[in-house]
Amino acid sequence: MADTADNAHVIIRPPLAWGLAVMAGLALDWLVDLPFLAADVPSGRLGAMVFVLALALFAWAIVTMTGAGSNVPTNRPSTTIVESGPYRFTRNPIYLGMFLGLMGLAMTFDNPWLLMMLVPFALVIRYGVVAREEAYLERKFGDVYRDYQSRVRRWL
């Protein structure tokens, strides 16, 4: 029987993928400590600022999406194409916030493993989540989504 649920059928929920990337980076650092920033770099402060920026972008995107009446979780149906707030600049501000958050943690903890986890995380998000979301939104909203897609970049 075909699965006809109204959602993007992503391969993993993005917060779970992010959490796994963080746990893998921390575990690898515990096993093999590889500092990568110079001792005189204020990595804790710089990383914390990047992480706070990431949280702000993440929160702004979620508030904008829910305020427009659409669902944020990938296993729920999208009800509208959101084009305000951070969605004016990027089609994926929540995932950008996750990428920035991972970079901020890497700097804060001087942990290159967290930075390296960006690669598998980005691949999973790009091909296992975003590609499926884009196909779903195009099927569901047609020209409305294609017009939005032509005006707003996927990332930045």
Q: Would you kindly state where each structural domain of the chain is located, as residue ranges?
A: 43-151
State the pLDDT confidence band at 55, using cuts at 50, 70 and 90.
Answer: very high
pLDDT beyond 50 at 1 = no
Output the pTM of the full model: 0.92
Question: d(Cα 80, Cα 82) in Å, to the nearest integer?
Answer: 6
pLDDT at 4: 60
**85 CB burial (10 A radius; 0-12, 13-18, 19+):** middle
Both structure tokens of 39 = 């001792």
Are the beta carbons of 140 and 83 closer than 8 angstroms? no
For the segment 3-16, the average pLDDT, to the nearest whole number, is 90
Q: Which amino acid is at 138?
A: E
State the pLDDT confidence band at 39, using cuts at 50, 70 and 90.
Answer: confident
CA 83 to chain centre: 17
Both structure tokens of 77 = 């149906």
